[in-house]
Amino acid sequence: MYKPDLSNKKDDNNWYGKTFLEITFPQFWQHSFDTKNNFYNYVLMEAKKHIELFNLGKEYLEEYNICDFWQRHCSVCQKSITTNINETCYCSIDGFDWICHDCIDKVKNQYSLSILKDVEDIPSKGFIVLNVSKAN
Ligand SMILES: [Zn+2]
């Protein structure tokens, strides 16, 4: 199964003063799919890598289903974050760290995080692309 490479995971203390984007799934994914925005292309890129790695057919790149290849884990509690979770979650502006709805209040004040609300897309530059590798 797909597993993002977190080998260069940063120390939590690097969160201090960081900006996080408030993102609500699945609405954010639906909007991304409809507008083919930066996040859509980001998910598509990961789906392509995955399909190449596992020699899957190109039909997997069609339509809405490419989001099935995208998954992150909350950097605090490790809970799975997917595009169909029905939950508001938060990602660092570089896309590296994701924090779930349950954990954000715990760390928001601790690290003086700034939260950007009403986010319609991820930044066009600087969003970290994770390596796709086969799970052990
Ligand atoms: Zn969490």
Q: Is residue 136 part of a domain?
A: no
Supply the range of the domain harboring residue 79: 17-130
- Establish if 72 belongs to a structural domain: yes
Number of domains in the chain: 1
As to burial, measured by CB atoms within 10 angstroms (0-12 exposed, 13-18 middle, 19+ buried), residue 9 is: exposed
pLDDT in tens, 61-77: 777 778 888 999 999 99
- Are the beta carbons of 86 and 26 closer than 8 angstroms? yes
pLDDT in tens, 76-103: 999 999 999 999 999 999 999 999 999 9
Cα 28 to ligand 1 centroid, rounded to whole Å: 19
**Residues 6 or more apart in contact with residue 134 via CB below 8 angstroms:** 3, 53, 54
Q: Does any domain span residue 86? A: yes
Radius of gyration of the CA atoms of the chain, in A? 15
In terms of pLDDT, which residue wins out, 58 or 31? 31
Distance CA 22, CA 2 (A): 25
Residue 9 lies in a domain: no
Q: Specify if 100 maps to a domain.
A: yes
Find the 90 Cα to ligand 1 centroid distance in Å: 10
Distance of CA 74 from the midpoint of ligand 1 (Å): 5
